[in-house]
């Protein structure tokens, strides 16, 4: 891993906005103080984070929030086994609570940036699940707001907090497989069909208008609801941002391409198999071309056989061999036939998990301590958005200019640029703008 000093120097050099940001610490905690946390969105992910937070020292969950009363009660019950907790059905009310220091956002994607921005404006640090945004403009706003307020914003790309991934990236940087020019991010798994769900009344007690938030008013269906919302463009971004983002993020990190955008994004994909309510693709191949390097993303959701041995994984191809980082750890195979399992201890790496790392950074009031800071998370998120925009425009080649935040060359430039932003339903406008 890069040293803290080199990372600070690097970050100070990137972008005029950041260079202008004073490196002062927002708030520090005495050893006896705890960070008061709130978890917003207590579905599958929110619940799993709640369980893990019980093991994290220096912090305590003081509030949980969900607009589904059944889920809210379950989450509150889980925490109450350890200590009292406040329950909120509306995050806007929760954010008024000045005793809450940091907010964990684990709602559907279309709520990530609006809640994260409101939390920052309310003076709180934020852990926001991946993808940090529903679109490119939102990710950029989140980075800007976090810098302006000098707050910790951790992005839920937890592979950057994995000791074995850190060691793999270190081994790549040290040249174990020679010069590395290409990485492949593999997302190859069966994501079943969801059928066609009829319109029905939203479950009793649920604030469905709030669930929809900025998205257009639609009749409730079981597919436009818990978990399956991932497959609708108005709320999610398909499996690219659901799972592929992790493999892509490792590819970017391992190739040393953090905070950079490619010169060109070549896209192809669509629905070859789904014939149900899914709007998002089941098949996607995207090539990100950087000066002298290339990332290939391959996604197929209609099979559970593995691609080059991986359902989820990232493979780096170098002049002296290849390295695979996936469920089996980090393994290098070099031209001499030697297979090396990379061990964190050999690199002196002792990682802390993503939540422990977040709490430690918050306690020190230092965003530079984060393993997955929002500026890096936003670029990984936006790379996924670009790949999906290309596919939604018919499988086009495009380029994104981060200075103007526009897609600068594409067969369907107008259509592509329209997908960088979204409309906000009245009453659910973003609380912060550029």
Per CB under 6 A, residues contacting ligand NAD are: 40-46, 65-68, 71, 91, 106-109, 111, 129-130, 156, 158, 210-211, 213, 226-227, 242
Residue 380: CB minimum distance to ligand NAD, A: 12
Q: Are 242 and 177 a contacting pair, CB within 8 Å?
A: no
Residue 283: CB minimum distance to ligand NAD, A: 20
Nearer to ligand NAD, 290 or 428 (CB): 428
Which residue sits closest to ligand NAD, CB atoms considered? 43
Nearer to ligand NAD, 108 or 390 (CB): 108
Residue 421: CB minimum distance to ligand NAD, A: 19
Q: Are 40 and 105 a contacting pair, CB within 8 Å?
A: yes
What DSSP designation does 256 have?
Answer: T
Residue 59: CB minimum distance to ligand NAD, A: 18
- In three-state form (DSSP H/G/I as H, E/B as E, the rest C), the secondary structure along 11-37 is HHHCCHHHHHCCCCCCCCCCCCCCEEE
Nearer to ligand NAD, 46 or 373 (CB): 46
What DSSP designation does 38 have?
Answer: E
Residue 238 host element (H or E): helix 238-239
Nearer to ligand NAD, 165 or 318 (CB): 165
Q: Are 309 and 178 a contacting pair, CB within 8 Å?
A: no
Query: Which residues are CB-neighbours of 99 under 8 A, at least 6 positions away?
Result: 36, 62
Q: Are 328 and 216 a contacting pair, CB within 8 Å?
A: no
Written as one string, the DSSP assignment of 399-416 is EEETTTTEEEEETTHHHH
- What is d(CA 135, CA 320) in angstroms, rounded to the nearest whole number? 38
Residue 326: CB minimum distance to ligand NAD, A: 15
Nearer to ligand NAD, 235 or 347 (CB): 235
Nearer to ligand NAD, 111 or 400 (CB): 111
- What is d(CA 283, CA 307) in angstroms, rounded to the nearest whole number? 13
Residue 312: CB minimum distance to ligand NAD, A: 11
């Amino acid at each position: 891993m890069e040293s803290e000093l080199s990372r600070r120097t690097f970050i100070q050099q990137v972008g005029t906005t950041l260079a202008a940001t004073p490196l002062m610490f927002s708030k520090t905690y005495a050893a006896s103080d705890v960070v008061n946390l709130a978890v917003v969105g207590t579905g599958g992910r929110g619940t799993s984070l709640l369980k893990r937070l019980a093991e994290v020292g220096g912090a305590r969950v003081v509030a949980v929030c969900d607009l589904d009363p059944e889920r809210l009660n379950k989450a509150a019950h889980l925490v109450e086994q350890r200590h009292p907790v406040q329950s909120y059905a509306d995050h806007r009310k929760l954010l008024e609570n000045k005793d809450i220091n940091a907010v964990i956002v684990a709602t559907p994607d279309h709520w990530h940036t609006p809640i994260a921005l409101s939390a920052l404006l309310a003076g709180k640090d934020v852990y926001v699940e991946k993808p940090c945004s529903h679109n490119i403009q939102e990710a950029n706003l989140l980075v800007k707001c976090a810098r302006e307020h000098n707050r910790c914003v951790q992005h839920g790309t937890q592979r950057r907090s994995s000791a074995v991934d850190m060691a793999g990236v270190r081994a790549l940087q040290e040249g174990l497989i020679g010069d590395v020019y290409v990485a492949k991010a593999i997302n190859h798994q069966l994501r079943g069909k969801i059928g066609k769900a009829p319109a029905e009344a939203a479950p009793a007690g649920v604030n469905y208008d709030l669930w929809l938030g900025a998205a257009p008013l639609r009749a409730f269906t079981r597919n436009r609801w818990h978990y399956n919302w991932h497959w609708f463009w108005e709320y999610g971004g398909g499996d690219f941002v659901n799972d592929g983002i992790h493999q892509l993020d490792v590819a970017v990190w391992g190739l040393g391409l953090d905070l950079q955008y490619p010169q060109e994004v070549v896209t192809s994909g669509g629905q070859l198999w789904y014939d149900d309510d899914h709007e998002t693709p089941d098949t996607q191949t995207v090539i990100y071309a950087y000066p002298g390097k290339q990332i290939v993303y391959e996604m197929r959701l209609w099979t559970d056989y593995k691609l080059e041995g991986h359902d989820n994984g990232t493979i780096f191809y170098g002049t002296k061999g290849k390295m695979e980082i996936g469920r089996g750890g980090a393994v290098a195979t070099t031209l001499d036939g030697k297979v090396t399992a990379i061990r964190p201890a050999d690199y002196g790496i002792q990682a802390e998990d993503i939540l422990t790392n977040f709490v430690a950074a918050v306690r020190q009031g230092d965003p530079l301590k984060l393993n997955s800071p929002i500026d890096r998370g936003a670029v990984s998120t936006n790379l996924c958005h670009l790949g999906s925009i290309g596919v939604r425009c018919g499988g086009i080649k495009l380029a994104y200019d981060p200075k103007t935040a526009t897609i600068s060359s594409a067969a369907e430039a107008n259509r592509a640029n329209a997908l960088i932003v979204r409309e906000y339903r009245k009453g659910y406008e973003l609380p912060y703008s550029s």
